[in-house]
Amino acid sequence: MKKLTCALALGASLATPAAFAQSNVCSPDQTIKFAGITWESGQLYTSLIRNLLEMGYGCKTEVVTGSSAATETALVGNDLQVWVEQWNRTDIVKKGQEMGKIRLVGDLLSGGGAIEGFFVPDYVVKGDAKRGIKASAPDLKSVSDLPKYKALFKDDEEPGKGRLLSCPVGWDCEKINTQKLKAYKLEGDYTNFRAGTGAALDAAITSAIERGKPILFYYWSPASLMGKYKLVQLQEPTYNEKCWDTLKDIKVKDVCPSASPKNKLTVGVSTPFATSNPGAVAVMEKLQLNADQINGAVVQMTDRKASSDVVAREFMKANPAVWQKWVSADAANKINAALK
């Protein structure tokens, strides 16, 4: 595709000081187009990479907004060059790799990668003396314990069942959760209640926790709520690759139980860009945060309604020892000067 569809809109580029000469890290005649990610952690990672390239190496960048499917398709066609925080789940990305059109580089999250699963607030299991909350499910440790607690997590629309607050329709996790309820033999005890949007999912979880109410929900890390609240992840059957394959495909009826694997978070780059800009890719390959760092940063975005650009700059000013390992000494000096 030679031009992006009208659904994609170009975002303004970060300001690059004119004094920074173009380096050999990126092509002098190219503006690097980044996909506009729709969730906070991806936005934060994107802003960090753009800051490193623009401030440290004089690269030109801009953001292209659009649906994940549209921007991933654009990445495959080299209509944009960088797609940050790839979970490597969609057919578009997998086929793009098979065709040699894109590469997944780096390892953005230490500790093995992103996690996802079923969670409850910490006080449901342990109580909270400061808030006067007694543990309502002190023996809840695993998804196998959920049937005896279905009344605690009652679904008001189906009072005979508990409610799992799940992902919006269309998200991969919504389909996986539907399959997991089958595999864990929980269909008769729990509904897979789909939130209308990601924001609605967060709002429902936040409302319940602020009121000290019991709630069972799907969630993942990195994410802002993981940095804001104490949560307990329920144990699931050990990860099994063959069973996981049955959970990923909503058409499969004969499912078997498996926890979700940890997901290595990467940066998707178009192959032509990677070939012509190895220095820029090298920077992306070095960038890595731990869960506390990324979750703490995205909490700042949500609580203060601050943009990823603002929080990224604040993070870099406060944590020079973290990001200076990702760039050359000369680039680090230029970035420090730009952050003042």
Q: What is the pLDDT of residues 32-86, one digit of tens each?
A: 999 999 889 999 999 999 999 999 999 999 999 998 889 999 999 999 999 999 9
Least-confidence region, from 75-79, 143-147, 179-183, 300-304: 300-304
- pLDDT for residue 12: 45
**One-letter amino acid of 187:** E
Going by C-alpha positions, the residue among 33, 70, 107, 75 that lies closest to residue 288 is 107
CA dist 168 and 271 (Å) reads 32
pLDDT at 213 over 60: yes
Q: What is the pTM of this model?
A: 0.84
- pLDDT for residue 23: 56
Name the CATH code of domain 9-112+264-339 (choices 3.60.20.30, 3.40.50.1000, 3.40.190.10, 3.30.750.24): 3.40.190.10
Instruction: Give the phi and the psi of residue 309 in degrees, each rounded to 5.
Output: -65, -45
- pLDDT for residue 15: 43
Q: Token pair for residue 220?
A: 């993942």
Hey, do 9-112+264-339 and 115-248 end up sharing a CATH topology, with the first three levels equal? yes
- pLDDT for residue 3: 42
Q: Is 115-248 a domain of CATH 3.40.50.150?
A: no
pLDDT at 189 over 80: yes
Residue 270 CA, distance from chain mean position: 20
- pLDDT for residue 124: 98
CA dist 240 and 295 (Å) reads 28
What is the residue extent of each domain of the chain? 9-112+264-339, 115-248
- pLDDT for residue 9: 46
Residue 272 CA, distance from chain mean position: 26
Give 232's DSSP letter. E
